[in-house]
Amino acid sequence: MKQILLAAAFAALSSSAMAPPTDAGKYQVALGDCEGCHGKNLAGGVVLTTPFGRMVTPNITPDKDTGIGNYTAEDFARAMKAGIAPGGKLLYPAMPYPSYARMSDADIAALWTYMRTVKPVKNSVNVNQLKFPFNLRFMMRGWNMLFFAPAPYANNPAKSAAWNRGAYLVSGAGHCGACHTSKNPFGADKSTALTGAALLGWFAPDLTSDQGAGLGSWSNADIVTYLQTGRNNHSLASGPMAEAVENSTSKMNDADLKAIAVYLKDLPASRGNGGGATGIEAQMKSGANLYDISCAACHGRDGKGSLIFPPLAGNPTVRQVRADSIVRMVLAGGRGASTAKAPTGQGMPSFAWRLSDSQAADILTYIRNNWGNRAPAVSPETVGHIRSALRSGS
């Protein structure tokens, strides 16, 4: 079946009478979320804040002067899968080539066919604004030697076709680990894949089948609904994940979303969330009072939420080891993802002006340790750090 499809695609490519399969390539753009980083028109200019400084994404439209108009198909495949742009320029892994390296040649070829049809835009970008010494590109040689072992996705014959498709998407084009896998001090993946990671004031949760911090209590359908619409009975995407849902996962077809669910549900449970907090009676008492005044109107005294407000009881986002995402949510407020299937994102008000660091810490400790939730306490210092990060605009 696969060979027949490939043969058909090849015939289509080589026959000038037939339109090239740009739809297939457009789908790869959605799978890889190219627009999330390179902008809706792919002309770049999107600022990425990394622990090593700022990067601004390059223009990848076919413009000859400022884009990738002079690329050949081989140049493109090399940039995507080896992280090497024409002229031997070593790319930084802020471009997720360590994940894209797992994409099949057929998918890269389809993507390239589509990239040629994108409208050329003139936009010259100063990409590398990293701090010294990270701004020295040759350093990436050492990084690649230490941390990058390019390997195309290898089928696991012991698992179902859906599992393999899910693993291919999660580790490849979907680059879920770019956010959900924690990084070593050099920004490379640690071996604890998909067990959750802090990023820029957010926490990308544990995606393993762990009952406490992970997706253990989610059904496959719950995962599909979340990736399609940015919400379900357990959780609501708001920060970086809301963008990933809008640009990428909401555009994936049902079969692919189901495959991702099959794969995630089969990931062995991580070590769990480190247990609850002790010695927090004072914080719990103050938190309960403040919660009733500030939060219960929407999230309910029982923490169960309602049709339009997410529950806090049993919500994995609330129970992660690190509380960055929910501290940020309470200080800055948020807006749920807006997708084709669920167009209006609901809003969560900002409480930065109303709650002191210690009041916010009390409320958060309370919601993390009430209604059956268990997670470490939140300190006023943590809230203070995130408050100043938000002020300085990162």
Comparing CB distances to ligand HEC, the nearer of 85 and 284 is 85
Min dist. Cβ of residue 108 to ligand HEC (A): 9
Show Cβ contacts of residue 222 under 8 Å, excluding neighbours closer than 6 positions.
215, 232, 233, 234
Q: Please count the other Cβ atoms lying within 10 Å of the Cβ belonging to residue 338.
A: 16
Judged by CB under 6 A, the residue of 195, 225, 235, 273 near ligand HEC is 235
Peptide bond into 133 cis (omega under 30): yes
Q: Which stretch binds ligand HEC (CB under 6 A): 157-165, 182-190, 232-240, 265-273?
A: 232-240
| Contact flag: residue 96 with ligand HEC (CB under 6 A) | yes
Residue 166, interface with ligand HEC (CB under 6 A)? Answer: no
CA distance 102 to 151: 6
371 binds ligand HEC (CB under 6 A): no
CB of 312 to ligand HEC, least distance (A): 6
Q: Is 176 in the site for ligand HEC (CB under 6 A)?
A: yes
**What's the one-letter identity of residue 229?**
T
Residue 114 sits in the site that holds ligand HEC (CB under 6 A) = no
187 touches 51 (CB < 8 A) = yes
Pair of tokens at residue 35? 């627009």
Report how far residue 296's alpha carbon sits from residue 304's, in angstroms, rounded to the nearest whole number. Answer: 10
Q: Which residue has the tokens 């990239």?
A: 115
380 binds ligand HEC (CB under 6 A): no
Interaction mask 75-94, ligand HEC, x per CB under 6 A: ----x-----x-----xx-x
* Torsion, Cα of 393, 334, 373, 314 (10° steps): -140
Per-residue string for binding with ligand HEC, 256-285, x by CB under 6 A? ----x-------------------------
Q: Is the CB of residue 258 less than 8 Å from the CB of residue 220?
A: yes
- Alpha carbon distance 221, 218 (integer Å): 8
Confirm or reject binding of residue 60 to ligand HEC (CB under 6 A). Answer: yes
Identify which of residues 236 and 386 has a Cβ nearer to ligand HEC in the complex.
Answer: 236
Q: What's the CA gap between 92 and 58, in Å, rounded?
A: 12
Our CA dihedral for 254, 317, 169, 89, rounded to 10 degrees, sits at 140
The residue from 43, 121, 204, 262 that contacts ligand HEC (CB under 6 A) is 204
What's the one-letter identity of residue 146?
A: L
Rounded distance, CA 128 to CA 126, Å?
6
Q: Least distance to ligand HEC from the beta carbon of 138, Å? A: 12
- Subset of 286-345 contacting ligand HEC (CB under 6 A): 294-295, 297-299, 309-310, 312, 315-318, 325-326, 329-330, 334-336
For ligand HEC, the binding residue among 20, 30, 43, 57 (CB under 6 A) is 57
Q: Using the minimum distance from each CB to ligand HEC, give the nearer residue, 89 or 391.
A: 89
User: For residues 143 and 226, which CB has a smaller minimum distance to ligand HEC in the complex?
Assistant: 226
Does position 130 interact with ligand HEC (CB under 6 A)? The reply is no
